[in-house]
Chain A
Amino acid sequence: MKKNVILAILGIVFLVFPLVIKSDYYQHLIIIALMWVVIGSSWNLLAGYTGQVSFGHAIFFGIGAYTAGILFSKFGISPWWGMLAGGIASMLIGLFVGWVCFRLRGPYFALATLAGGEIFRLIATNWESLTEGMVGILIIPSFESKLPYYYIALLLAAGCIFAIHVIMQSKWGYYFVSIRENQDAAESLGINTTLYKNVSLLVSSLFTGMAGAFYMNYMGFIDPQVVFSLHYISIMAILVGIVGGVATIMGPGVGAFVMVGVQETFRSAFFGMAPQWISEAHALVFGLLVIFVIMFLANGIVGDWGKIKRNVFRIKASS
């Protein structure tokens, strides 16, 4: 009951936010954070719930972005169709990645996806006839205002979280977690582990691809160093999941806002209030944040919420 009230309040806040806060800058930040909610939640479905830790989610993000971009710049197909096409193209690539990488387990799977991300980045860089290489793809955004983008991002984020919530309540959800907990036991309980790992990957790559296509539409410009980036996409997806809380529904949502907030605070040198050199240190701060989370909140902000409440309460009581 209490949960529903909180969800309803959150929903209203997000719906009216851009109507109240008219600043393009803050709207932009929230749009980016909502996009990260989608990527983080998708990563969480595969890594957090199914236990297949991916270091290569940039593959799906990049494929989604490039599909939308190429369809528009080469064939003139509306980039909004591109969002659907980007998701589907990303699923097809996901099928291939799964076919190759799911032969491996645990850390070896993670390493294979890491290599996969780099392979796709190099392909996008060098296949110039298709991708324009390092020049990148530039399209004219559909809307002047940020409002439509905001609501599309909101819809995508809410849809993604809701879909994952529904999946985790179903047979698929039980199967995913069983595979994470013990693949051998799962197999002997009649679970086709290869099939269900791929199912998880496909759902994950669908949403990540749609987020990538959204990024193309929204930013209007992509190049391989950004959308196939190990640092900015693949690792960021992992951080969003870990900081927010792995294997929790709302964790990546919280993680996305925290990470985008931290990233922006440092990138802008505390919104211009601190010396400029601080902005150079934002990667360092990410590292420190991860160390902090692992040491004190191993289950992330949402996973350790009880612990946070307890400790904050104790501090209050003693002071």
Chain B
Amino acid sequence: MKLLEVKNLTKAFGGLKAVNNVSFTVEKGEILGLIGPNGSGKTTTFNCINQFYPITSGDILFKGKSISALKTYEICKLGIGRTFQVVKPLARMTVLENVTASAFCRVSSIKGAKEVASEVLQFCNLWKDKDKLAKSLPIGGRKRLEIARALATRPDLLLLDETAAGLNPSELDEAIDLIIKMRESGITILIVEHIMKVIMTISDRIHAINFGQTIAEGTPKQVANNPAVIEAYLGEEYAQG
């Protein structure tokens, strides 16, 4: 079943087409990796999916319905959660308060929200830090807090924007475990990631873009061997060899 369909998505900033006619689908239950060199339009694609930016043309369907005219918060309510590449913790709130605030997306009682938040914090291995201020967390903790906050909104589809960037090797393994655990709990994941170790291990399929346009799609192995992808990352000479 198609959970998310991106159809001919184009986003232009003035004359620059940051995303140009990109189409892909995310099937329910899978992990789709979105890769591309810096500035290729990955984060812009995310920002278009959750309507952070209004799209220039094309359409985005979630569970078969167009969401391209909705507001960001409505998209969250429909079941798309996201994390930010540049983390946006609610700095002067505690970790528990951060997650409780987003749990109100599904429950309206304070007790219920706190229960959801505690559950999510344990799931994300952040429970021991629950009373710390968000600004006092190290980067690994902040990235996990981003995920916890998104999870507390009970999403069907989770957009992860470089959640592994800046983590040390042991944190990286934890992050991979967490992502796999989320998939096992039934959440579909669309992930942007630069770290090949992460994206190659966990993705079912990979969609590669460069200069805002699709250059390849397929299993991790297929994409890794695709000349266009190698060229985009390493230059023309490597692609021929």
Contacts and interface: CB of A to CB of B under 8 A. Distances in A.
Question: Are A and B part of the same complex?
Answer: yes
Q: Which of B52, B84, B90 has the most CB of A within 10 A?
A: B90
Contacts of A169: 110
Given A181-B93, A189-B153, A174 B101 contact: yes
A184 B71 CA distance: 12
A191 B72 CA distance: 9
A142 interface: no
B82 interface: yes
Given A171-B104, A187-B52, A188-B52, 18 more contacts: A171-B108, A174-B97, A174-B104, A174-B113, A177-B101, A181-B90, A185-B89, A185-B90, A188-B72, A188-B73, A188-B82, A189-B73, A189-B101, A190-B73, A190-B77, A191-B73, A191-B105, A192-B73
A318 interface: no
Interface in A149-195: 169-171, 174-175, 177-178, 181-182, 184-193
Contacts of A171: 104, 108, 110, 113
B195 interface: no
Contacts of A190: 73, 76-77, 102, 104-105, 153
Q: How many A residues touch the partner, as a band?
A: 10 to 19
B92 interface: yes
Interface string B69-92: 001110011000010100011111
A182 B90 contact: yes
Given A171-B113, A175-B104, A181 B73 contact: no
Q: Which of A174, A177, A182 has the most CB of B within 10 A?
A: A174
Given A171-B113, A178-B93, A181-B92, A187 B73 contact: yes
Given A189-B105, A190-B77, A178 B88 contact: no
Q: Which of B91, B93, B104 has the most CB of A within 10 A?
A: B104
B110 A181 contact: no
A189 B71 contact: no
Nearest to A182: B88
Interface string B97-131: 10011101100101001000000000000000000
B149 interface: yes
A81 to B, nearest CB: 34
B213 interface: no
Which A-B residue pairs are the 6 nearest by beta carbons?
A190-B76, A190-B105, A181-B90, A185-B88, A189-B102, A174-B101
Contacts of B100: 174
Interface of B: 50, 52, 71-73, 76-77, 82, 84, 88-93, 97, 100-102, 104-105, 108, 110, 113, 149-150, 153
Contacts of B149: 185, 189
B163 to A, nearest CB: 15
B84 A185 contact: yes
Nearest to A195: B73
B92 to A, nearest CB: 6
A177 B90 contact: yes
B76 A178 contact: no
A111 to B, nearest CB: 24
A263 B20 CA distance: 63
26 contacts: A169-B110, A171-B108, A174-B97, A174-B101, A177-B90, A177-B92, A177-B93, A178-B93, A181-B90, A181-B91, A181-B93, A182-B90, A184-B52, A185-B89, A185-B90, A185-B149, A186-B90, A186-B101, A187-B52, A188-B73, A188-B76, A189-B73, A189-B149, A189-B150, A191-B104, A191-B105
A175 B72 contact: no
Nearest to B135: A181
Nearest to B152: A189
Contacts of B52: 184, 187-188
Contacts of B89: 181-182, 185
Nearest to A183: B88
A188 B105 contact: no
Q: Which of A182, A187, A189 has the most CB of B within 10 A?
A: A189
Given A177-B93, A181-B92, A188 B50 contact: yes
A3 to B, nearest CB: 19
A228 to B, nearest CB: 33
A189 to B, nearest CB: 4
Contacts of B91: 181-182
A191 B76 CA distance: 9
A189 B113 CA distance: 13
Given A184-B52, A185-B84, A188-B82, A178 B110 contact: no
Contact of A187 (B72, B90, B108, B110): B72
Contacts of B72: 187-188
Contacts of A189: 73, 76, 101-102, 105, 149-150, 153
Contacts of B84: 184-185, 188
